[in-house]
Copies of this chain bind each other. A is one copy, B any other.
Amino acid sequence: MTAGSRDGTVGKALGVLDQVASFERPVRFSELLEASPFPKATLYRFLQTLTSQNMLQFDPEMQTYALGVRLVRLAHAAWTQSSLAPIAKTHVEALSRSVGETVHLAQLDNAQVLYVDKQNAVNPLPMYSQAGKVGPAYCTGVGKAMLAYLEPDEQDKVIAQQSFHKFTETTHTSAESIRIELSNIRANGYGFDREEHEPGIICVAMPILTKRGRVLGALSVTSSTSRTNLAALEKLVPQLKATANAIADDLQSWRFPDQQQSPVSRA
């Protein structure tokens, strides 16, 4: 589907992994086969390999495959190493405390938004997002903030992958519509979610950028129409901006351990 299968054997095998993940429960071989582009023997071998690699777990009693423990281990490493989450955590917490609302931290995964951290307000609202989950990019504050700052060619690619499902009255439902929105965001430096994904849920979002302008992720302060409004959220922009900058700085200064000290040794 998405980036599924144009990278040789490895890509195909990882596609199978996604397929298993998509069931959200242990699955039988036959169930997978039904939805698989691969012939029986091929799928079978992939499952064997992935199981032997602990990327999948086979339950011999029920004859089902589920995602394996090796993924949990790798993810732990991914979390602490690659995602913004650990570096950003203190900043996100501070921001949430200071504004008294839920703060999201997200990155782009393929063409979707991956929430890598979420700091709830004191009394949180029920909503879709959750750390580790993915959501649509074209109708969330963080998604649009990141899209707005992608390189033009990348942006095109990602926009082409959006589904433009109309979740609410205000959801953008076309590439043209989203392009206009993105250029507005780019002009302002931040964007809103105007109940585009969930009715009653609004937010103000800010991209996290490197000095050179590459997109690292995005931050948002999220609330509901019953509690506040866009104008009030907009007042938080300076704080958001400061937090985004602080995170980017922290991230940049995360140089290699071997050159971390001795301040003068480099020209």
Chain A contacts to B: CB under 8 angstroms: 1, 3, 7-11, 13-14, 17-18, 21-26, 35, 37, 46, 49-50, 52-55, 57, 60-61, 66-83, 107-110, 114, 116, 131-134, 210, 212, 214, 256-257, 265-267
Contact = CB atoms under 8 A, between A and B. Distances in A.
B67 A25 contact: no
Contacts of A75: 71-72, 74-76, 78-79, 132
Contacts of A69: 78, 82-83, 107-109, 114, 116
A169 B18 CA distance: 45
Given A69-B108, A74-B75, A76-B133, 5 more contacts: A10-B10, A17-B74, A61-B212, A66-B78, A72-B79
Contact of A68 (B18, B23, B82): B82
Top 9 closest pairs, chain A to chain B, by CB: A75-B75, A76-B132, A67-B78, A66-B82, A21-B77, A71-B78, A69-B109, A10-B13, A67-B82
A67 B53 contact: no
A125 B257 CA distance: 28
A37 to B, nearest CB: 8
